[in-house]
Amino acid sequence: MTSVDAPEGGVKGQGVKRRRGRRPVAEPKTDSLRLRCTPAQHAALIERADRAGLSVAAYILATALGEETPRGARRPPLERRLLAKLLGETGKIGSNVNQIARALNQGALNSGRADPDALTLAPIQAELSLIRDALMAALGREG
């Protein structure tokens, strides 16, 4: 697929063609291989490939041939994906707690007295902050 850009001051359709999509490689993978295995072997391959952060095909090539597969599909290991999802869910919970605290505080400001429910949210917010920091550290991100 190509896209044609108009040169400066020119007419669209007469410009330089830009290539889109995958870059051509020196040694394309054109042959395929079909593998038969038991469901337990299949599950083990998927688990090991996930831990390595590779697709199953890239994992099999790397282990069978003993060489790096630079074009292997790099994916975050299963644990990192789960931690990232958990971090997102923790953020949603924190947002809900903040909305509740804001609503309680607005009610306390309108009535002129402190609401005891607002005081119980402070430890929840502190715990969520600790959980978030632990998840960020496990993912190797700065909080």
Q: Which helix (H) or strand (E) holds 3?
A: strand 2-4
Where residue 36 falls among pLDDT bands split at 50, 70, 90? very high
Contact 53, 78 (CB under 8 A): no
What is the average pLDDT score of the chain? 76
Q: What mean pLDDT do residues 67-85 have?
A: 68
- Could you tell me which residues come within 8 angstroms of residue 1 by beta carbon, excluding any fewer than 6 positions away? 20, 21
Q: Residues 77-105: what's their mean pLDDT?
A: 81
Q: Where are the domains of the chain?
A: 36-75, 78-139
pLDDT tops 70 at residue 74: no
What pLDDT, on the 0 to 100 scale, is given for residue 118?
A: 60
Length of the chain: 143
In the chain, % of residues over pLDDT 70: 71
The encoded tokens of residue 139 equal 């993912």
Q: CB–CB of 59/52 below 8 Å?
A: yes
User: How far from 84 is each of 4, 98, 132, 134, CA to CA, in Å?
Assistant: 39, 21, 10, 12
pLDDT range class, residue 126, cuts 50, 70, 90:
confident
Does the structure show a pLDDT above 60 at 11? no
